[in-house]
Amino acid sequence: MSNPSIRYLIVPGWQGSPDNHWQSHWQRSLPNSARVEQRDWFTPQRSDWVQALEQAIAAERSPVILIAHSLGCITVAHWAAQARATSLRRVRGALLVAPADVERPGCAEALRNFAPIASQPLPFPTQVVSSDNDPAVSVPRALALGRAWGAEVGLLGDAGHINVKSGHERWEEGFAYLYRLQSRVDQHILRRA
The pLDDT tens digits for 35-56 are 999 999 999 999 999 999 999 9
Cα atoms in the Cβ-side hemisphere of radius 13 Å centred on 101: 19
Contact criterion met (CB below 8 Å) for 71 and 44:
yes
Longest dimension (CA), the chain: 47
DSSP calls for 44-101: --HHHHHHHHHHHHHH-SS-EEEEEETHHHHHHHHHHHH--HHHHHHEEEEEEES---
Tell me, what's the pLDDT at 4?
Answer: 59
Q: Is the pLDDT of residue 31 over 90?
A: no
Q: What pLDDT band is residue 179 in, cutting at 50, 70 and 90?
A: very high
Q: Which residues contact 111 (CB under 8 A, 6 or more apart)?
A: 14, 44, 71, 100, 102
Q: Give the neighbor-by-neighbor strand order of the sheet with 91-97.
A: 33-35, 7-11, 64-69, 91-97, 126-131, 152-156
CATH of 7-192, one of 3.90.1150.10, 3.40.50.1820, 2.30.30.40, 3.40.50.1980: 3.40.50.1820
A 10 A CB-CB count for 116 gives 8
Q: pLDDT tens, 119-176? A: 999 999 999 999 999 999 999 999 999 999 999 999 999 999 999 999 898 899 999 9
pLDDT confidence of residue 25 = 95
Give the model confidence (pLDDT) of 57-105 as tens digits.
999 999 999 999 999 999 999 999 999 999 999 999 999 999 999 999 9
pLDDT reported for residue 186: 84
CA pair distance 30, 53, nearest whole angstrom: 19
Kind of pairing between the strands at 64-69 and 33-35: unpaired
What is this structure's pTM? 0.95
For the chain, domain boundaries: 7-192
User: pLDDT at position 171, please?
Assistant: 93
DSSP H or E stretch at residue 35: strand 33-35
- Of 9-23, 162-176, 179-193, the poorest mean pLDDT is in 179-193
∠ Cα 105 78 166 (to 5°): 50
